[in-house]
Amino acid sequence: MNIADLNINIVMNPVYIPYMDKPQFLQIFFGGSSSGKSYWICQKIVLDNFNGANYLVCRNVAKTIRKSVFNEIKKAISAMGLNKYYRINSTDMEITCKLNNKQILFVGLDDPEKVKSITPINGVIERAFIEEATEVTKAALLQIKKRLRGRSQISKHIYLAFNPILKSHYIYKDYFKYWQDDKTSYEDQDICILKTTYKDNLFLTAEDRKLLEDETDQYFYEVYTLGNWGVLGHVIFKNWRVTDLSAEKRHFDHIFNGLDFGYSSDPNALIRCHLDRKRKKIYVFAEDGQAGMNDFELAAMCRKNCGEQYIGCDCAEPKTIDFLKEENINAYGVQKGADSINRGIRWLQGYEIIIDVTCQNFKNEIEQYHWREDKNGEPTRTPVDKFNHWLDALRYALEDEINDVRATAGVRI
């Protein structure tokens, strides 16, 4: 059975319809927030899979997949009325079409051995989708290309989707050599590129559109509203690097935990770090959190990650802190004081910040954290208060150290 044999109504943003069957091996869909690009690719994945293609769906960190692209593909299956044709294994994150035994498999690129060994039950992997592709290293992308090998009658493709965070990224340098900023598409024999923004998404609410149109920071407006490649000249932190801390973190014994409270759209952000005062190093080795959590889910997250250790929290949320204490979480409100943000920034700038490869949210934030500019484009001494939830959590974790209050591993004195 082919998808064309079914009488189903597929609702799709018109801008993407011409890209359903492009021939190029590498296909890039980038642009602003809320443009519908990722959901459209999820629709395409389901339709292609129903018609016989095995898919490998990736993000840089495995734990981010379940609450993002895995859920979006399940929504696409349901919206198209195809549930009865699919078997969904939520534990292993495997989706199998019952009619042809073709699969949609999910993998985090932080586990290279799993990437090498993953194999569908019928045939070979013909197509791959990398969500948030700017998070992925060049080496990881090359590894995915190698996975698309073996004989098949299905054409092979790699699809990338992302917001164009920085022009210094290898994706821009390698694949946008002939891109023209005044265009919205480019094609040659090997690659096709489509740029979209919120204006291409017919299903946004007026409130969604206004939120993007009212963005006041120039960098965020260019990247997330207009979908243009970003340029950051006034980043706050340059003293960081990313590495695999899986071997080292078992020996960490001077641990601090911080929590920034979220709301319906902002995440509750938990960070864990090890402080090496003597060598002036901060090891950010674990993170957790998401938007839309209730208080009991928040308490469970804190308990799972931190046990009985203390957690520094934003003192502006005393009711939430009291609830966590009632749930036997050792939460406390940090005493921020005057100029606490800038004082914390200056203190953190005096250390090398080493980030574990699994802490993708923190890495995304520190990479884009920058000073607000004045009307002449000069940096002020005020950071842009956006995309800084896990960064704030790090300051809360280390606030006692910043304020020179004695503290030891997970215990306040």
Given this model, what pLDDT does residue 6 score?
Answer: 77
Q: Is the pLDDT of residue 411 over 60?
A: no
pLDDT (mean) for 218-231: 96
pLDDT at position 247, please?
A: 94
- Strands 407-408 and 411-412 come out as antiparallel
What would the DSSP string read from start to end of 179-232?
Answer: --TT-SEEE-SSEEEEEE-GGG-TT--HHHHHHHHT--SHHHIIIIIS-PPP--
User: Three-class SS of residue 281?
Assistant: strand
Whole-number Å distance between alpha carbons of 120 and 106: 11
Give Dmax over CA atoms of the chain in angstroms. Answer: 70
pLDDT band at 117 (very low <50, low <70, confident <90, very high): confident
Please say whether the beta carbons of 45 and 119 come within 8 A: no
For residue 265, name the pLDDT band (cuts at 50, 70, 90). Answer: confident
pLDDT in tens, 396-407: 999 999 987 544
Q: How far apart are CA 131 and CA 133, in angstroms?
A: 5
- pLDDT, residue 8, reads 78
Residue 1: per-residue pLDDT: 63
Q: What is the pLDDT of residue 116?
A: 79
Residue pLDDT, tens place only, 29-50:
999 999 999 999 999 999 999 9
Residue at token pair 């044999």: 5
pLDDT in the model for residue 312: 97
**% of the chain at pLDDT higher than 90:** 85
128: three-class secondary structure by DSSP: strand
pLDDT more than 70, % of the chain: 97
Write out pLDDT tens, residues 42-88: 999 999 999 999 999 999 998 899 989 999 999 999 999 999 999 99
CA distances from 76 to 31, 54, 62, 286, 413 (A): 21, 17, 21, 32, 52
Which pLDDT score, from 0 to 100, does residue 408 have? Answer: 45
- Cβ pair 353, 362 in contact under 8 A: no
Q: Does residue 185 have a pLDDT over 50?
A: yes
pLDDT per residue over 188-215, tens digit each?
999 999 999 999 999 999 999 999 999 9
Report pLDDT for 256: 98
Q: Are 155 and 161 in contact (CB under 8 A)?
A: no
Domains delineated in the chain:
3-225 (3.40.50.300), 240-412 (3.30.420.280)
Q: Is residue 2 predicted with pLDDT exceeding 80?
A: no
In DSSP terms, 104 is beta-bridged to: 55, 95
Average pLDDT of every residue of the chain: 93
What average pLDDT does this structure show over 274-279? 96
- pLDDT the model gives residue 407: 46
Phi, psi for residue 356 in degrees, rounded to 5: -65, 150
pLDDT by residue (tens digit) across 328-380? 999 999 987 778 999 999 999 999 999 999 999 999 999 999 999 988 888 99
CA angle in degrees (0–180, nearest 5) for 210-216-222? 85
d(C-alpha 298, C-alpha 18), whole Å: 43
